[in-house]
Chains A and B, each alone.
Chain A
Amino acid sequence: MESVELAFGGTSGIVVLLAYGGLMLAVGLITFLRNRNIHESLDEYYLGGRGLGVMVLFFTFFATQYSGNTVVGYPPTAYRIGYQYLVSVPFFIMIIAVYLFFAPRLYAMGRRFSLLTPVDWIDIRFKSKAVTILAATLMLYALGNYLLEQFVAIGQGVSGLTGGTIPYQVGVVFFIVIMVAYSWLGGMRSVAYTDTIQGIALLFGVFMLLIGSVIYFGGPSAAAEVMRSEAPEKLGAPDGGGVAHWFSLLAIVGIGAAVYPHAVQRIFSARSEATLKRSFIRMAYMPFITAGVVFLVGIIGIAAFPGLTTGESEQLVGRIANALALENPLFYWAMILLFGGVIAAIVSTADSVLLTFSSIVSNDLYGRFIDPQAQEHRKIMVGKLIGLVAVVVLVIIAWYPPSTLYQIFVLKFELLIQAAPALVLGLYWTSLNSRAVFIGMLAGTLLASTMTFSGWKPLGVFSGLWGLSLNVAVCVIGSLLLGVTREARAHAVEVIGEY
């Protein structure tokens, strides 16, 4: 992947990044000083004491969904395939729509059983060591890969913003140290507060990018004239294959992103049902001013920089930002802030992922199977340290990207959504058999991984969805064939039957 080179970045870029890093550390420190007791309780550390209010909850959901990749990676795709990438607007709304089908009950369960992680719920529901460990492993593996991707993006973003003045590796280490420091100091609270700052920086930068692009390159009309004469397929409605691709993106992003462990954990962090509801309503309209805006930037790029190759188009946002920065000082600073915001957005996605990673280690593996008697303080410490070890290993991998076995680092969504049937079906169906759930999860994982490695994508539908279909089929048919024991059903009724 090419990084974005901003020739104008240099010193101003370094100043913005240092200021940004300092601000994040300050947030961590203030949170730490105001909440001295958070390291004594898993709830306080990982869920902010289940007390996040509407705005903070909204921005932390926002930062979890929109990463730097949304800003840097989406416009090039819109540039290459044109209006068929408009799907990026409804797919972000789909995530919220999918929540509606399980979050109300999951939130209620979270309150009732003081759930800390999605694995916690799976464990209470199925009381099966095998299911719990498999779900935790899938989540940790996928979260690890997700974190790796963010680290690589931080390094590339930093070296791009500073025109190479700060090398890739220095950028990665600098931001990871800051991220780990403020996460350790304030747990979920600092992560959520920094998410808020990061979200605002990103929104500001993206809007300036759009305004500048419209002023200096012309709006969608200019782009439409170029497309009409040179590439009418970028304007046209999709054909059969295009519709299948559109549909499977909606389905996999909608389901996949809704069951992200770090997203589920945010459901548990809400102060109240009303808070969660209000945050969801706000999130439902955000795609128009986030994904919609970056999409439009990509479309305008078609007129501004016609004829880029695929590799060149990856740097589209950098090229537009460079051109705008040369126009006047306002845009110069706005573009510096934009790239600061992009890096901020990547860091804010990474911190959420790291915190959830640590919480699964603390609570679901160490606290459940290794030392259940341990004090919460100790569980938090173990989660932090193993999280740190994971970070170090991932940084080494990000430093020396492996040339072979590359694909094992690609699996994320494909694996995460295999936990969805246990998580969601388990909420509603008391006859769900835990052995069927385990076999379904395993079969779905193997199928999705094999298909990803071989690049096989029948009917244009993603491997993760094929895995999920097999997984659901095994869960349902297996449960119908095997049935459930009287005790298992009584337990399920006791857990979920109240509703």
Chain B
Amino acid sequence: MKRKSKEPVKSPLVWIVFVVVFAAINPWYFPAGSFEPLIWGVPYWAWIILAASLALSVFVTWVVCCQWDMGADDDIGDDHGQDHGEG
């Protein structure tokens, strides 16, 4: 039986965006040793890395919201019909 599901690992778009963002969070594209301009005392490249890191967090949000729907709990209701309370 094939069930309808959405899995991040199967989406080429997820992989492409991940590779791009991963490349951006590695500081290979700055001239070694450069730090000017400083903005509020923080080197320009550190701001760019932080922005890229934020992009990674946004990527996670996007994948979780739009690319992940396994319907993993669907059959649980059928099999056990119970809702687990919390402690």
A224 contacts the other chain (CB 8 A): yes
B residues whose Cβ falls under 8 Å from a Cβ of A: 1-3, 5, 7-9, 14, 18, 22, 25-28, 30-35, 38, 40-43, 45-46, 49-50, 52-54, 56-57, 59-61, 63-65, 68-73, 75-76, 84-87
Nearest chain A residue, comparing its CB with the CB of B61: A281
Docked pose: A233 CA to B49 CA in angstroms: 17
Per-residue CB contact flags for chain A residues 58-78 toward chain B (1 = under 8 Å, else 0) read: 000000000000000000000
A280 and B38 within 8 A (CB): no
Docked pose: A369 CA to B30 CA in angstroms: 55
Known: A189-B87, A237-B35. A107 touches B27 (CB 8 A): no
Cβ distance A29 to chain B, nearest Cβ, rounded Å:
13
Cβ distance B35 to chain A, nearest Cβ, rounded Å:
4
Q: Determine the chain B residues whose CB is within 8 A of the CB of A105 once the complex forms.
A: 7, 9, 70
Inter-chain residue pair count (beta carbon < 8 A): 162
A472 contacts the other chain (CB 8 A): no
Q: Determine the chain B residues whose CB is within 8 A of the CB of A246 once the complex forms.
A: 26-27
Q: Determine the chain B residues whose CB is within 8 A of the CB of A428 once the complex forms.
A: 9
A222 and B41 within 8 A (CB): yes
Listed by A's residue number, 28 A-B pairs whose Cβ atoms lie within 8 Å are A48-B86, A53-B86, A83-B43, A86-B49, A93-B53, A93-B56, A93-B60, A94-B25, A97-B60, A100-B9, A100-B63, A104-B72, A105-B9, A105-B70, A219-B40, A220-B42, A232-B33, A237-B32, A239-B32, A242-B32, A243-B26, A247-B26, A273-B69, A284-B56, A284-B57, A284-B61, A287-B57, A499-B5
Known contacts A236-B35, A240-B32, A242-B27; 10 further A-B pairs (Cβ under 8 A): A89-B53, A90-B25, A90-B49, A96-B60, A97-B56, A111-B73, A112-B75, A233-B33, A287-B53, A499-B5
A90 and B35 within 8 A (CB): no
Cβ distance B23 to chain A, nearest Cβ, rounded Å:
10
A238 contacts the other chain (CB 8 A): yes
Known: A52-B86, A86-B50, A239-B33. A101 touches B8 (CB 8 A): yes
Q: Determine the chain B residues whose CB is within 8 A of the CB of A277 once the complex forms.
A: 64-65, 68
Q: Determine the chain A residues whose CB is within 8 A of the CB of B64 once the complex forms.
A: 100, 277, 280-281
A35 contacts the other chain (CB 8 A): yes
A219 and B41 within 8 A (CB): yes
Chain A residue total in the interface (Cβ 8 A): 63
Known: A237-B27, A237-B35, A243-B27. A35 touches B43 (CB 8 A): no
B7 and A90 within 8 A (CB): no
A193 and B87 within 8 A (CB): yes
Q: Determine the chain B residues whose CB is within 8 A of the CB of A284 once the complex forms.
A: 56-57, 60-61
Known: A101-B9, A104-B70, A243-B27. A48 touches B87 (CB 8 A): yes
A437 contacts the other chain (CB 8 A): no
Docked pose: A112 CA to B78 CA in angstroms: 12
Q: Determine the chain A residues whose CB is within 8 A of the CB of B27 once the complex forms.
A: 237-238, 242-243, 246
Q: Determine the chain A residues whose CB is within 8 A of the CB of B41 once the complex forms.
A: 219-225
B73 and A232 within 8 A (CB): no
Nearest chain A residue, comparing its CB with the CB of B72: A108
B28 and A243 within 8 A (CB): yes
Docked pose: A379 CA to B32 CA in angstroms: 57
Docked pose: A273 CA to B69 CA in angstroms: 8
